[in-house]
Structure 1
Amino acid sequence: MEPLNVVQTTFYVKENAKEHHTDQFDLVKADNPTPIFRRGGNIYMAIMFDREYDVETDVVRVRFGFGPKPNVIRGTRAVLAVRPKQKRFPDDPFQWGILLSRNDGNNSIVIEIRIPPNTQIGIWECSIQTNIAKKRESRHDYKIPEDIYVLFNPWCPDDGVYMENEEDRNEYVLNETGKIWCGTFKEPKGKHWIFGQFNDISLPGAVFLLEKSGLAPADRGSPVMVARAISAIINAVDEGGLLEGRWDGDYADGTSPHSWTGSAAIMDQYLRSGGTPVKYGQCWVYSAATVTVCRALGIPCRSTTNYVSAHDTNQSLTVDKYFDIFGNRIENGPEGDCTDSCWNFHVWNDVWMTRPDLPPGYGGWQIIDATPQEQSERVMRCGPASVAAVKKGEIGFLYDTPFVFSEVNADVVHFKEDEESDWGFTRLNINQYHVGRKLLTKKVGPTDDKAENDLWDVTLVYKNKEGTEAERLAVYNAVRGVPRAQALYEIPNKENEDVFFDLIDIDSIPFGQSFSVVVRIHNKAKENRTISAVLSASSVYYTGRAANDIKKSQGTFNIKPGNKETLQIHVTPEEYLEKLVDHGLIKIYAIATVKDTKQTWSEEDDFTLKKPDMQLTAPQSCVVGGIIFKNPLSIPLTECLYTVEGPGLHKPKTIRFRDVTPEEEVNIIETFVAKRTGDRRIVASFTSKQIQDLNASTSIKII
């Protein structure tokens, strides 16, 4: 008797996918569906032979292999023998298992396979080996032609990414759309984004990126190591990853970061080019692409925005800013080696997982950051850093916890040139409340298309309330582990401070309107005081880097005992419009010295010029939508383009648009052809040289 020949195999892809929560993938819905399973789950598979299967003499083995050199010891190879008398899987849930589910006697059998919950994720190969019992001289091998995707399983309690709450799983694994918070902590603005993790390009793209990351196949069962690899490969700095960053406003040879409406177009361009990094991204684009990759692979993931995010380059747990005797900011410090900065906002990602490498209590949300800021183990990556460790100031835990702690807790220190000082500078001010002003993510549940009612303030998840004893204890706990920081955390001497200064905050100013920088002064002393002061306004990139000076005023004056004075500079649209850069952010500084007592004071604030609202209309019974907004400026909008995208409705499309005349109301009509039924979301963005990133979203129901 000859061994069985395999004629055909069937994975029951769509039936298995429903049980594995992978039925939303376009690859599963295709005419020739791709097997996509989650580890920790069972799958059914039919095998058809060229003759009837004899349970006494026929030996059938199903073999799974992962990576270039599958190995049983490393967990990248499994050999499963069909044993007709076996009625249950092995007791150890972390072992592969196989059962004969049905034998109809018509040349085919159905088997049930259990995938362990710690299996490596990515593409597995499967083959079937047959021979006759006790006869070694003849054996047949059949390679199943389909690639089999195995993903993390947040539904499985034994998986490291298990998430108990169903609403959370729906949001952080299954939701294809969402918001990423930009703007300022005073005026948060949600940017609508289509993550599109179920797009036919997303899962192949995610696995391709994981291959390029160089993560060893044996390590791809660890969500900790996979998340760390993702944080590195989303940026293009080291491995030719997905996105190349640019922050200077010149995007002529690529796509502006403001123009993207979703991740699918980025993934598509990357794969079609054979892995050439896509131009261009900034932090919210890196974060959005990270959500897409993580959710495609099964890691629960969200975008989180930290407003006033510190970039502490010298590991002092402070952001140091230097000013000369005239009140001018000294970029990079007096020695040219201090590039500390505060980003107006910075977007990273939180991923949900256990941390078996850390003590109990440090699992749950972990911070990863794909934006290239600092090297970690000689590669541009960050995390996963335990949110619980960051909140407690436990900076000794892996990975990159000191850097993340500084992002939300660093103090801002101002130094001013001083000829009487031994080292040439005097500390003006230490601000304990400036950094980490607010941390936001999207609330679990529906997206708010018209307003920002879906934002969720999660600040207290990452840090204790500012000014509380717990907050200072966390800082001092971290300082103990950073010798360079200890000298900067002295308590400032307040004894000689008898003049009160107050810089009036500006929340936001509509594009095209004037604003004033105002400082109120109160002399509480019983003598005259002579005060030297400087006020300035400049445009800045959202990373905190200075762009253009807009206006500055300085002078010296006397103030009598008990008197109050107001200093201000008035800035008109004509003075600032041509000097703006991305996001329309403006930074103001105020510096003062009381000559009689040597009291020094400094403060800073930033605000954004508020963009006009844009509406996206799409009646539910219609396939025609409109983009509507008004130019608020008295000058034309030039170099205009808009992008429209909707999963199951509209592939990402970017269109050049004519110049928009001053104060013109614009109504752009787009037609959509639905490819999928159900609730669908459309996202549109509009950018120009003068105003970037007008963004809107709406949802429709396709029947």
Structure 2
Amino acid sequence: MGQAAAQPSTDWHVKENGRDHHTSKFSSKELIVRRGQAFVITFNGVEQPEQTLTFIVETGPKPSKQAKTQATFGISSTVSKDSWSAVLQSTSSHSVSVSISSPPNAVIGRYKLSVQSTSTGSSSPETLGTFVLLFNPWSSGDNVFMPNKAECEEYVLEEFGIIFAGNNYHINSFGWNFGQFQADILNICLSMLDRSLNYRQDPATDVSHRHDPKYLGRVLSAMVNANDDQGVVLGNWSGNYDGGKSPSSWTGSGEILQSWKKSGFKPVRYGQCWVFAAVLTTVLRCLGIPTRPITNFSSAHDADGNLRVDEFYDASGNHLNEGADSVWNFHVWNESWFSRSDLGPSYSGWQILDATPQEESGGIYQCGPASRNAVKEGDVDLDYDCPFVFAEVNADCMYWSYDRATRKKTLLFNKSTVIGQLISTKAVGRDDRIDITSDYKYEEGSKKERDIFKKARKKLGLEDKFDPTAPTPKEIEQKPDISGKFKMAGPLEVGKDLNLILVLKNLQSEVKSVNVNMTAWSTVYTRRPVREIWKDSLSVSLSPEEEKHFPIKISYAEYQQQLTTDNAIEVTALCHVEGGIQVLVQRHIALDNPTIDIQVLGEAKVNEEMDVEVVFTNPIDIEVKDCVLQVEGSDLVRGILKIDVPPLKAKDISSTKFKLTPFETGSKHLLVNFSCDKFADIKAFKTVKVID
């Protein structure tokens, strides 16, 4: 018997391959490469390397050539465009260097690589080890190819993002650490795929579909929420977050994904739309699909699929939770970039995915990918979930007065231009907001936009049906006798009194008597009323064409206990005009938290300690307690730094100093979140330039 050949040892050239494949940010010892591109490995322990070598790559539980989860290939003289291939780079007495290429539509995931040397007769293949294959937006053959390099950098490699929130009167924003290259995140993303319902039902078939970004995007939009599959994040919109973390307290996806894994894959409590969207951004960027979070203001949730949203109010002006439709102050979803061979080239480009569990699609809570071009053109008959997304940005809004005792409802007014405003995302390479509303719809109120709306209704078979809940032409034609609006008079800040002015104007040439019922409620950002803050009424007589102003003050003491962590208040005035139709005046208010200031003291250098100071001034006349500062930032902090801050008396200034040691050069973002008993989750971020 001859001596057994030594087990081959493999040099994966992780550093060089990582540089060539844009994967060097991963903190992994394992080789991570992108499909459709060559990578070099060197191995030894093979006798007579110039003899014929055969390589085997396989992925998934039942690798097969038919399912494209296994491939066998020898050494060839040139790279193959559409299959796995190996080209000899160099040989020495005991080692071989080969350049291995995968096809641009290869299944992504973790592969085992083996080699068989046919010179030794029928020897069994020797395992060289494992590597991970990802999507490749830099390769023109890949479905996710993105020709613009700056966009690739932003939508695949950037770990910092900005999420826009607030409402369409008042946009605010906060930073988020996607952290897709943090330790173990890639493994967690791959295990998410292996925990999906599709994988549990038929693992081999599921893995064979993992070459397709639209398949993967849809599966992951289901896995990021916990609704059907013990996915990552459990949603909660109640305003009460006991037993978990308030959705507004998170500052990055890393902590959420790590907690999910550490708990044995129990859903992490709690998330709302931006948390679902941010986690999905992390997972898709990690796997190589260009992705960004998108915020839509005055976003419709059309539960019954008729492209209309119905809102109900009682005689006092209280917003009622009748019906399942709603309008959210804002809603955050994702766009991912890939081609749509199933729909044709005009529908390629940005695709909408939404991991927030709102409506079931195909029996489970998942949404998309809906082609953004299809949404703009009203092609709502195309896959996937186009009508739902179309309604989010372009539904018509109906406002009804509803009497619970008689169940009678009266249309107050309808609006076709309030839904889907200021659709926002972060600019490429800058911390600015860009408005992409015109990518979702034609100019609001234009003939083209109305024609598209009619086309969408027609495609859904809504245009000819008799709809008993639809307003009659008579209802729509009724013109109100007065107009009303709320104007803000003063700052919109938590801790300060809220000053508004109700402006009423008589539109007629005779005197009008008006009784006004006013209410203010704290809400969550989905506009669901949580607690009543204030109510008042007034009677007024308006001379012909007269305009009157009524100042309203809601003190901090009145709203302080009632506010949710969303800092959102809805104020309504229902005006009963004698002998005329009711007029509803409403205003959604987003209050700003007080600010915190981050100072970096001195220069930021790699592997050198630096000092950071965070300053907060208590703006109110009461002591604030239970103060905690949370700090994170890719390449600046490993994990999350939590610092307890002493209580702070009225109007006092607190200064918290701590040290950091940056471990990578470049432009980095430090994120801080300050919480106390009176203010939830005050966020700020600072760009830190780290030098050698």
Fold similarity call, TM over 0.5: yes
**Mapped partners of 1:250, 1:602: distance in 2:** 30
Contact 1:614/1:627 (<8 A) preserved:
yes
| Alpha-carbon shift at residue 221 of structure 1 (Å) | 0.4
Aligned length in residues: 672
Contact 1:511/1:632 (<8 A) preserved:
no
The 3-state SS of whatever aligns with 1:599 is: coil
Residue 39 of structure 2 is aligned to residue 43 of structure 1: yes
Which residue of 1 is the match for residue 100 of structure 2? 113
Which residue of 2 is the match for residue 701 of structure 1? 690
**Mapped partners of 1:483, 1:489: distance in 2:** 18
| Alpha-carbon shift at residue 371 of structure 1 (Å) | 1.3
In the TM superposition, 1:632-671 aligns within 5 A as: 632-651=619-638, 652-671=640-659
- Cα deviations by residue, 1:105-156 (Å, 9 ceiling, x for unpaired): x1222222111111111111111122338x5xx31321123x2110000001
**Mapped partners of 1:585, 1:420: distance in 2:** 30
Moved more, 61-70 or 680-689: 680-689
Paired letter, 2:650: P
| Alpha-carbon shift at residue 556 of structure 1 (Å) | 4.6
Which residue of 1 is the match for residue 595 of structure 2? 613
Which residue of 2 is the match for residue 451 of structure 1? none
**Mapped partners of 1:542, 1:193: distance in 2:** 19
Of residues 431, 435, 440, the one that matches 2:415 is 431
Which residue of 2 is the match for residue 293 of structure 1? 283
In the TM superposition, 1:261-300 aligns within 5 A as: 261-300=251-290
Moved more, 189-198 or 485-494: 485-494
| Alpha-carbon shift at residue 490 of structure 1 (Å) | 6.5
| Alpha-carbon shift at residue 648 of structure 1 (Å) | 2.1
**Is there any run of 5+ residues in structure 2 with no aligned partner, and where?**
200-205, 605-609
Moved more, 637-646 or 425-434: 637-646
**Mapped partners of 1:420, 1:14: distance in 2:** 72
| Alpha-carbon shift at residue 251 of structure 1 (Å) | 3.2
Which residue of 2 is the match for residue 30 of structure 1? none
Which residue of 1 is the match for residue 455 of structure 2? 477
**Mapped partners of 2:663, 2:39: distance in 1:** 29
Paired letter, 1:591: L
Which residue of 2 is the match for residue 97 of structure 1? 85
Distance 1:391 1:586, change over 3 A: same
- Cα deviations by residue, 1:227-282 (Å, 9 ceiling, x for unpaired): 11111111111111111222233334322322222222222222222212222222
Moved more, 554-563 or 682-691: 554-563
Which residue of 1 is the match for residue 492 of structure 2? 509
Which residue of 2 is the match for residue 444 of structure 1? 428
Of residues 380, 385, 389, the one that matches 1:395 is 380
Which residue of 2 is the match for residue 378 of structure 1? 363
- Cα deviations by residue, 1:271-318 (Å, 9 ceiling, x for unpaired): 222212222222212111111111110000111111111111122212
**Mapped partners of 2:232, 2:404: distance in 1:** 49
**Mapped partners of 1:362, 1:489: distance in 2:** 35
Of residues 315, 321, 325, the one that matches 1:325 is 315
**Mapped partners of 1:554, 1:403: distance in 2:** 39
| Alpha-carbon shift at residue 465 of structure 1 (Å) | 1.9
Of residues 529, 544, 547, the one that matches 2:527 is 544
**Mapped partners of 1:562, 1:51: distance in 2:** 99
Residue 331 of structure 2 is aligned to residue 353 of structure 1: no
Contact 1:646/1:682 (<8 A) preserved:
yes
Residue 228 of structure 2 is aligned to residue 238 of structure 1: yes
**Mapped partners of 2:257, 2:680: distance in 1:** 23
Contact 1:261/1:683 (<8 A) preserved:
yes
**Mapped partners of 2:226, 2:559: distance in 1:** 34
**Mapped partners of 1:62, 1:498: distance in 2:** 78
Which residue of 2 is the match for residue 139 of structure 1? 123
Which residue of 2 is the match for residue 59 of structure 1? 52
- Cα deviations by residue, 1:75-132 (Å, 9 ceiling, x for unpaired): 10000123xxx42233xx221122222233x122222211111111111111112233
**Is there any run of 5+ residues in structure 1 with no aligned partner, and where?**
28-32, 448-453
Paired letter, 1:69: K
Residue 446 of structure 2 is aligned to residue 463 of structure 1: no
Of residues 659, 664, 680, the one that matches 1:676 is 664
Moved more, 157-166 or 672-681: 672-681
| Alpha-carbon shift at residue 498 of structure 1 (Å) | 6.0
**Mapped partners of 1:458, 1:665: distance in 2:** 40
**Mapped partners of 1:17, 1:232: distance in 2:** 30
Contact 2:316/2:519 (<8 A) preserved:
no
Paired letter, 2:689: I
Distance 1:574 1:484, change over 3 A: farther
Of residues 142, 146, 152, the one that matches 1:163 is 146
Paired letter, 1:392: E
**Mapped partners of 2:474, 2:656: distance in 1:** 57
Which residue of 1 is the match for residue 390 of structure 2? 405
Paired letter, 2:156: V
**Mapped partners of 1:229, 1:420: distance in 2:** 45
Of residues 586, 593, 602, the one that matches 1:604 is 586
Residue 308 of structure 2 is aligned to residue 313 of structure 1: no
**Mapped partners of 1:260, 1:524: distance in 2:** 49
Distance 1:97 1:249, change over 3 A: same
Residue 674 of structure 2 is aligned to residue 686 of structure 1: yes
Contact 1:674/1:702 (<8 A) preserved:
no
Contact 1:506/1:607 (<8 A) preserved:
no
Paired letter, 2:387: P
What percent identity do the matched residue pairs reach? Answer: 31
**Mapped partners of 1:356, 1:505: distance in 2:** 50
Contact 2:74/2:85 (<8 A) preserved:
no
Contact 1:535/1:569 (<8 A) preserved:
no
- Cα deviations by residue, 1:335-391 (Å, 9 ceiling, x for unpaired): xxx122111111111100001111331111111111111111111111111111111
**Mapped partners of 2:404, 2:287: distance in 1:** 59
Of residues 260, 266, 283, the one that matches 2:250 is 260
Q: Following superposition, which runs of at least 4 residues in structure 1 exceed 6 angstroms of deviation?
A: 1-4, 418-421
Residue 552 of structure 2 is aligned to residue 569 of structure 1: yes
Paired letter, 1:246: N
The 3-state SS of whatever aligns with 1:290 is: helix
**Mapped partners of 2:164, 2:403: distance in 1:** 41
Of residues 150, 156, 166, the one that matches 2:133 is 150
Distance 1:494 1:261, change over 3 A: closer
Moved more, 669-678 or 404-413: 669-678
Contact 1:121/1:220 (<8 A) preserved:
yes
Paired letter, 1:613: T
Paired letter, 1:669: K
| Alpha-carbon shift at residue 12 of structure 1 (Å) | 1.5
**Mapped partners of 1:87, 1:470: distance in 2:** 56
Distance 1:318 1:633, change over 3 A: farther
Contact 2:505/2:548 (<8 A) preserved:
yes
Paired letter, 2:47: R
**Mapped partners of 2:361, 2:477: distance in 1:** 43
Which residue of 2 is the match for residue 34 of structure 1? 30
The 3-state SS of whatever aligns with 2:345 is: coil
TM-score with structure 1 setting the length: 0.91
Distance 1:249 1:405, change over 3 A: same
Which residue of 2 is the match for residue 129 of structure 1? 116
Moved more, 384-393 or 621-630: 621-630
Which residue of 2 is the match for residue 626 of structure 1? 613
Which residue of 2 is the match for residue 528 of structure 1? 511
Paired letter, 1:162: F
Moved more, 151-160 or 39-48: 39-48
Contact 2:396/2:414 (<8 A) preserved:
yes
